[in-house]
Structure 1
Amino acid sequence: MPEAPDRLVFVYGTLRRGGRNDINRLQPAPVFVGTASLRGRLYPLGWYPGLLLGGEDAIEVVGEVYRITPPLEARLDEIEEIRPAPDSEYFKRDVAVHVAGHQRACLVYEINPERVRGRPPLAHGDWMAFYAS
């Protein structure tokens, strides 16, 4: 069976450079593609955020895009506690992300909407700026 191809991942919270779970400290090492943005809302959930994609009140959420291998994707799934269940905290999505002047298909870990129901979103879309304050 052929090995799955590398793919791109958009990270917006603790996996960003300098974050608590900085993707650059993981193995196998990712390859930085560029800074990026997409439309959504960030929700603070203690020391980490959740991202809801799109929506009428969507703003630009900033992050970073990395090229990752299947083993690194499996490690990210562990960190994000991905389970094939409707009550999973995060869901894996493939979305178009604006990076390096182009729209690129990226994996994004989106928060389960039930986990942020009734919570106020951040007023801006930069988790690292919020967490540093």
Structure 2
Amino acid sequence: MPQAPERHVFVYGTLRRGGRNDINRLQPPPEYVGMGEVRGVLYHIDWYPGLTLGGEEAVTVVGEVYRITPELEAVLDEIEQIVPGADSEYFKREVDIAVQGGTVTCLVYEVNPARVKDRQVIGHGDWIVFHTS
């Protein structure tokens, strides 16, 4: 049986180390690669954030990059409530993330733009700093 291709994920909110849904507590365990950055807008939705990629208001959003298995990706899809069609809370994107002087193509869970209307923009790009302040 061929091994599944290597996949990476960029986590910027509750899936970060110490967060409510800390990815390091999930199974099968991920492998930490390093801190990463992407340009986007971070929103305070409720007890969790949402990220839209790019845009005129974009700032540098920080997060963690992990190597994951297809089994863990399925767990993440469930946490992020991925469903087919335009009503999904998040959409899965493949994005180049700056990691320790290089780039890594990562899965990013981008919030559905319809879900962030009238939500608070986090003027900086660090959910952990915002959430703990």
Q: TM-score range by the shorter chain?
A: over 0.9
Letter of the 2:71 counterpart: P
Q: Partners of 2:5 and 2:74 in 1: how far apart?
A: 13
List alignment gaps of at least 5 residues for structure 1: none
1:105 aligns with 2:105: yes
List alignment gaps of at least 5 residues for structure 2: none
What's 1:125 paired with?
A: 125
* Contact kept in structure 1, 2:91 and 2:110, CA below 8 Å: yes
Letter of the 2:9 counterpart: V
Q: Deviations over 1:51-87 (max 9, x none)?
A: 0000011000000000000000000000001001101
Q: Partners of 2:86 and 2:109 in 1: how far apart?
A: 14
Letter of the 1:32 counterpart: Y
SS where residue 121 of structure 1 aligns?
strand
Letter of the 2:91 counterpart: F
Q: Partners of 1:9 and 1:107 in 2: how far apart?
A: 4
Q: Partners of 2:103 and 2:86 in 1: how far apart?
A: 29
SS where residue 42 of structure 2 aligns?
strand
Q: TM-score, normalised by structure 2?
A: 0.96
Q: Deviations over 1:76-112 (max 9, x none)?
A: 0000010011011000000010002111100000000
SS where residue 122 of structure 2 aligns?
coil
SS where residue 18 of structure 2 aligns?
coil
1:32 aligns with 2:32: yes
Question: Within 5 A, what are the aligned runs for 1:1-133?
Answer: 2-133=2-133
Q: TM-score, normalised by structure 1?
A: 0.96
SS where residue 10 of structure 2 aligns?
strand
Letter of the 1:11 counterpart: V
* Contact kept in structure 1, 2:37 and 2:99, CA below 8 Å: yes
Matched residue pairs, number? Answer: 133
Letter of the 1:116 counterpart: V
